[in-house]
Amino acid sequence: MNDDIPFDKNLQLAPDIADEPTPGVRRIMANNPGPFTFKGTVSYIIGRGKVAIVDPGPDDPAHIAALLDAVRNETVTHIFVTHTHRDHSPAVPAVKAATGATVYAEGPHRAARPLHIGEHNPLDASADRDFRPDIALKDGEVVTSNGWSIEAVATPGHTANHMSYALKEKNTLFAGDHVMGWATSIVAPPDGAMSDYMDSLAKLVRRTETTYFPGHGPAISDAPRFVNYYILHRKAREGSILHRLSKGATDIPTIVRAIYIGIDPRLTGAAGLSVLAHLEDLVARGLVTTEGQPAIDGVYRLVG
């Protein structure tokens, strides 16, 4: 699957050892490899002396110790959080306690839409519901410190509170899980929403940053071109769903079997939620219909 996007799975980075992929940006990867995290969550350190950390990562004592060791004899003034999945934000309290840094993010975890009656949230376990920023950022706000300035770029879709961060001096974007070099982003209702996600991709194409540092995997160069591939991939997936529905009414497991050929079995649940995200969007646009609210166990048909 996803052969259409020029993925880069080449990441020579040992867990919990800092490197400096570009002057002024260090990174350090947690040892939490998995089907959703690739080799691990990547935390970033911006600047020298007085620094900012982007995404302290999971609640893993070894990663927290390695992160604090990497900034020994420096002052961490800011922590920026892209979103509240458990592999990105739970290390915040420990790093804040050790450094006194101020925590910036869009806001606490929240779903993109309310739960339907009888629906349970399959993503509950993945969310860090304890997270609270000290400062809630709005789209376009700029935070300036010692030698760097960060612009908050709201990119909802993967989660409702997903924020990317543009490092103005480097023409670089910390993209969290919104755009990644190694795989497509998961967009899964009710926490995620496809219409938001597509709007956020379109917004990035209009920006000038050429390099992205994602939450998982290697840096992405020629970023706007890469984002265009992401957009084309989603449109192709939507086309595949509409094509399957053109053969008659069907359910999500049948669509997943038809269009996710050769998928890692551990990702089947996520694939089903991703199809649900597309179907919610198609129902909202009046192209597809279902009985009641779009649901994971619903039957879907083309309109007209």
If residue 46 lies in a helix (H) or strand (E), which one and from where to where? strand 42-46
List residues binding Zn ion (CB under 5 A): 85, 177
Least spacing, CB of residue 83 vs Zn ion, in Å = 6
- Please state the φ and ψ torsions of residue 235, each to the nearest 5 degrees: -65, -35
- What's the min distance (Å) between Cβ of 243 and Zn ion? 29
Instruction: Give CA–CA dist 39/270, Å, rounded.
Output: 18
**Which is closer to Zn ion, CB of 201 or CB of 288?**
201
Compare residues 36 and 98 and give the one whose CB is closer to Zn ion: 36
Element (H, E) at 166: strand 163-167
Shorter beta-carbon distance to Zn ion: residue 41 or 77: 41
Query: Which CB atom, from 85 or from 244, has the smaller least distance to Zn ion?
Result: 85
Distance in Å, CB of 26 to Zn ion, minimum: 22
Q: Which is nearer to Zn ion, 58 or 294 (CB)?
A: 58
- Closest to Zn ion by CB, 47 or 177: 177
The alpha carbons of the chain give a radius of gyration, in whole angstroms, of 19
Tell me the closest approach of the beta carbon of residue 244 to Zn ion, in angstroms: 27
Q: Which is nearer to Zn ion, 36 or 229 (CB)?
A: 36
16 φ, ψ (degrees, to nearest 5): 60, 25
| Residue 65 dihedral angles phi and psi, to the nearest 5° | -65, -40
Q: How far is the CB of 257 from Zn ion (least distance, A)?
A: 26
Give me the least distance between CB of 163 and Zn ion, in Å please: 12
Instruction: Choose among 172, 173, 170, 147: nearest CA to 162.
Output: 173
> Tokens at residue 171, please?
């023409």
- Do 282 and 241 meet the contact criterion of CB atoms below 8 Å apart? yes
Burial of residue 113 (CB within 10 Å: 0-12, 13-18, 19+) is middle
CB-based burial of residue 72 (10 Å sphere; 0-12 exposed, 13-18 middle, 19+ buried)? exposed
Distance of CA 146 to the CA centre of its chain: 27
- 99 in helix, strand or coil? helix
Closest to Zn ion by CB, 146 or 184 = 184
Cβ 186 to Zn ion shortest distance, Å: 7
Residues 121/115, Cβ–Cβ less than 8 Å: yes
- For the bound state, the minimum distance from the C-beta of residue 158 to Zn ion, rounded and expressed in Å, comes to 6
Instruction: Report the alpha-carbon distance of residue 137 to residue 154 in Å, rounded.
Output: 9
